[in-house]
Amino acid sequence: MISRSMLDSIKNDRGGSLLLALLAAAAVFVPLFNLAVPATSALHLSTYTVALIGKYMTYAMLAIAVDLVWGYCGILSLGHAAFFALGGYAMGMYLMRQIGPRGVYGDPILPDFMVFLNWKELPWFWHGFDMFWFAMSMVVVVPGLLALFFGWFAFRSRVTGVYLSIITQAMTYALMLAFFRNDMGFGGNNGFTDFKDLLGFDLHRDGMRISLFVITALFLALSYVASRYVVSSRAGRVVQAIRDAESRTRFIGYRVEAYKLWVFVFSAIVAGIAGALYVPQVGIINPSEFSPVNSIEIVIWVAIGGRGTLYGAVAGALLVNYAKTYFTAVLPSFWLYALGALFVLVTLFLPRGLVGLLSKVTAKAEQA
């Protein structure tokens, strides 16, 4: 039933269909070019590139999450990096437990940093993370719960607009400060790294990299479809009504807080999953992921791609991050100027982002 209506929601979505087709093609061809094409060939994709594209795709998921709350519900969250990082930390804790006795200090249970800090036993919140199913449920539960509490407080007392943006920023800032502390039991400013394997598979082998890539593509597609379903559902329409006229929607009789809350929680969960996929591909997670600047950067991906379209967010995330990788290597000092200028120009001249620009151009072409 749900899958049927999910498909329906995609049917009239040209951008979305294109995105899904591209993702499917990537899931097939990227492994092919990486594994089947010999390394000497021009068509060969290095494992580094595969991991890089994989990383971009987790960012794209994060952009979808932000677009859901910002583009469709008008909540400008400047704290979504926190949900991403929490999902990442949950995954990181599982990966740390998987290292087992292979750490530098060879302690069978305690991760290296705990041995280093002279801790005698595992803190209570580390229990269970040796089990994959538990860690994965935490990837969803922890960001979801945080969003639930935070959103419940914030929306119920009708904190809106800029105020909400600022307190989400304060939230991620507070979390960053907290995770920087060694006593928190999350590795302090070094975070987690030096992972060995996931579900028994060596993380450094090409095959594992490719599998992670395909899984990430799958999850990106899935989160796109799910988000599309959410926004085109009846509830999704109410959410958009809230974005456009919050008081009016409330006076009509909808419980605005509840709708906002569920979108916010759903979005946080998507961000958390993205974070969990990010960590094994990048191989490190540390508190700087919580930094407020990161959260603002996500917003600019969405703004550049075009908010309120979902596929625009994906395109923005991919484009900006590709540009970032390219320019920081070629012209390091140029990148921040470019990013800064992008913020300014997009908000001034492209309120609907690249997608908006594209549709304007095609509309003109059709008229002519």
- Partners of 193 in beta bridges: 284
The verdict on 181 binding another protein (CB under 8 A) reads yes
Q: Is 355 helix (H, G, I), strand (E, B) or coil?
A: helix
CB 271 within 8 A of CB 69: no
Contact range with another protein by CB under 8 A, out of 86-94, 133-141, 226-234, 296-304: 296-304
Contact range with another protein by CB under 8 A, out of 189-197, 212-220, 251-259, 346-354: 346-354
Contact range with another protein by CB under 8 A, out of 13-21, 23-31, 196-204, 336-344: 336-344
Query: Least distance to another protein from the beta carbon of 200, Å?
Result: 38
Specify the residue for token string 């799958």: 218
The verdict on 76 binding another protein (CB under 8 A) reads yes
The verdict on 158 binding another protein (CB under 8 A) reads yes
Helix (H) or strand (E) holding 359, with range, is helix 353-367
The verdict on 309 binding another protein (CB under 8 A) reads no
How many residues belong to the site for another protein (CB under 8 A)?
Answer: 42
d(CA 100, CA 272): 25
The verdict on 303 binding another protein (CB under 8 A) reads yes
Report H helices in 12-111: 14-31, 47-71, 80-99
Residues 6+ apart with CB under 8 A from 367: none
CB-nearer residue toward another protein: 31 or 191: 191
Q: Is 253 helix (H, G, I), strand (E, B) or coil?
A: coil
DSSP for 115-156, written as a single string: HHTT--S--GGGTTTTSHHHHHHHHHHHHHHHHHHHHHHHHH
CB-nearer residue toward another protein: 315 or 342: 342
d(CA 185, CA 231): 38
Q: Which of 137, 247, 347, 362 binds another protein (CB under 8 A)?
A: 347
d(CA 256, CA 238): 8
The verdict on 167 binding another protein (CB under 8 A) reads yes
Q: Which of 292, 306, 308, 353 binds another protein (CB under 8 A)?
A: 292
The verdict on 77 binding another protein (CB under 8 A) reads no
C-alpha 9, offset from chain centre: 22
Query: Least distance to another protein from the beta carbon of 303, Å?
Result: 6
The verdict on 327 binding another protein (CB under 8 A) reads no
Q: Is 285 helix (H, G, I), strand (E, B) or coil?
A: strand
- Binding stretches for another protein (CB under 8 A): 76, 150, 153-154, 156-159, 161-163, 165-167, 169-171, 173-174, 177-178, 180-181, 292-293, 296, 299-300, 303, 333, 336-337, 339-344, 346-348, 351
